[in-house]
């Protein structure tokens, strides 16, 4: 066992990912907090690999591609007190029974990704209402100036009613952007209380049917859970009004893909999609041929700002641990039912 009184910190993200998430200043803050051991290999660790490295670990920093904290790992880590996850979901990482046992705290930096995803959803919303990208492409392809100008530039966002499905980190950021632009905003989330909705200055609706049938824009920000699987199916899509817009920067599983494809092929609605059941999106996927859908390759949260914010929030949680303070973004057993 190590004799140092400084906490023993084990960092699992491989070198390339660590540099992506932890800026030089954040890296220096982490090194000042304890005795830090870094993962020096780019290949993925297995749970068995990790079990052989955690005997003295008090703080474990995990991330994308980190191995599951199996029973063998937890048995080999008697001193473990904090798992600081530098990414979002922890369901693949920490067994539910371990979280409920409460022997160590678990934190997540899902909040770090909310601003970028919400901003991307806003950008896609604006592009669907005012298709500047199509005018740009038309001019660059030699299109006639007068013909393109005659198409107009769409409609203003503030003139629409926007429906938001899911009031988690990202949904709340998107709502704040909508309200800041003076947009009438409806929110559907079974866990949203009247009090919280009032604080957000939104219309809380308890019926998904009412939201999809009444809002010109429907933006998805719900987690992927058994309860939300295909929550936007053929029935909900057919209820959307003519000219409606569907934005999905959350998870592809929220939408029935065949029902969406059929509705988009009809030309009745448009969509902007950042997430897909199969990624990379196959070259022969028919979505690639439709003019009324904007496609992006699952990049909504991928900004330099987001990545460095993930590292910053992770280190802030370790700083709180060292000071004996409770974590800011702790994951509790009660949260599991609504987490992605």
Of 53, 204, 298, 302, the catalytic one is 298
**Tokens standing for residue 303:** 């900004």
**All residues at 6 or more sequence positions from 339 whose CB lies less than 8 Å from its CB, including other chains:** 89, 90, 91, 223, 225, 331
**Tokens standing for residue 293:** 């859908």
CA distance 109 to 13: 14
CA distance 338 to 157: 30
Cis status of the peptide bond prior to 280, with omega within 30 of 0: yes
Query: Residue 124, SS3?
Result: helix
**Tokens standing for residue 134:** 């199509």
CA distance 256 to 238: 12
Listed residue (188, 219, 223, 180) closest to 206, CA to CA: 188
Query: Residue 105, SS3?
Result: strand
- Residue 317 among the catalytic residues: no
- Residue 312 among the catalytic residues: no
Of 85, 173, 221, 251, the catalytic one is 251
As a three-state string, the secondary structure of 284-295 is: CCHHHHCCCEEE
- Residue 319 among the catalytic residues: no
CA distance 335 to 108: 12
Backbone φ and ψ for 45, nearest 5 degrees, come out as: -80, 150
Of 279, 304, 325, 328, the catalytic one is 279
Q: Which residues are catalytic?
A: 251, 279, 298
């Amino acid at each position: 066992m190590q004799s140092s009184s400084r906490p023993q910190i084990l960092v699992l993200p491989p070198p390339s990912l660590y540099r992506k998430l932890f800026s030089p200043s954040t890296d220096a803050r982490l090194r000042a907090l304890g005795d830090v051991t870094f993962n020096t290999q780019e290949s993925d660790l297995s749970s068995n690999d990790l079990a052989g490295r955690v005997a003295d670990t008090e703080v474990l920093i995990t991330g994308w591609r980190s191995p599951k904290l199996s029973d063998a790992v937890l048995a080999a880590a008697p001193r473990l007190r904090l798992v600081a996850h530098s990414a979002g979901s922890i369901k693949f990482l920490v067994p539910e029974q371990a979280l409920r046992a409460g022997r160590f705290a678990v934190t997540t930096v899902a909040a770090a990704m909310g601003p970028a995803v919400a901003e991307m959803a806003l950008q896609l919303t604006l592009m669907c209402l005012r298709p500047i990208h199509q005018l740009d492409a038309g001019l660059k392809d030699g299109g006639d100036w007068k013909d393109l100008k005659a198409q107009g530039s769409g409609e203003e966002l503030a003139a629409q009613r926007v429906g938001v499905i899911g009031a988690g980190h990202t949904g709340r950021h998107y709502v704040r952007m909508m309200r800041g632009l003076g947009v009438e905003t409806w929110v559907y989330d079974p866990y949203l209380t009247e009090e919280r909705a009032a604080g957000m200055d939104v219309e809380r609706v308890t019926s998904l049917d009412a939201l999809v049938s009444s809002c010109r824009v429907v933006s998805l920000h719900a987690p992927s859970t058994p309860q939300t699987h295909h929550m936007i199916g053929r029935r909900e899509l057919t209820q959307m009004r003519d000219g409606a817009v569907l934005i999905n920067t959350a998870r592809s599983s929220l939408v029935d893909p065949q029902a969406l494809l059929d509705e988009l092929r009809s030309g009745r609605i448009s969509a902007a999609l950042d997430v897909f059941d199969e990624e990379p999106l196959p070259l022969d996927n028919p979505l690639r041929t439709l003019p009324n859908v904007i496609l992006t390759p699952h990049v909504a949260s991928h900004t330099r700002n987001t990545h460095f914010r993930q590292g910053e929030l992770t280190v802030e949680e370790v700083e709180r641990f060292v000071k004996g303070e409770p974590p800011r973004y702790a994951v509790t057993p009660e949260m599991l039912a609504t987490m992605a």
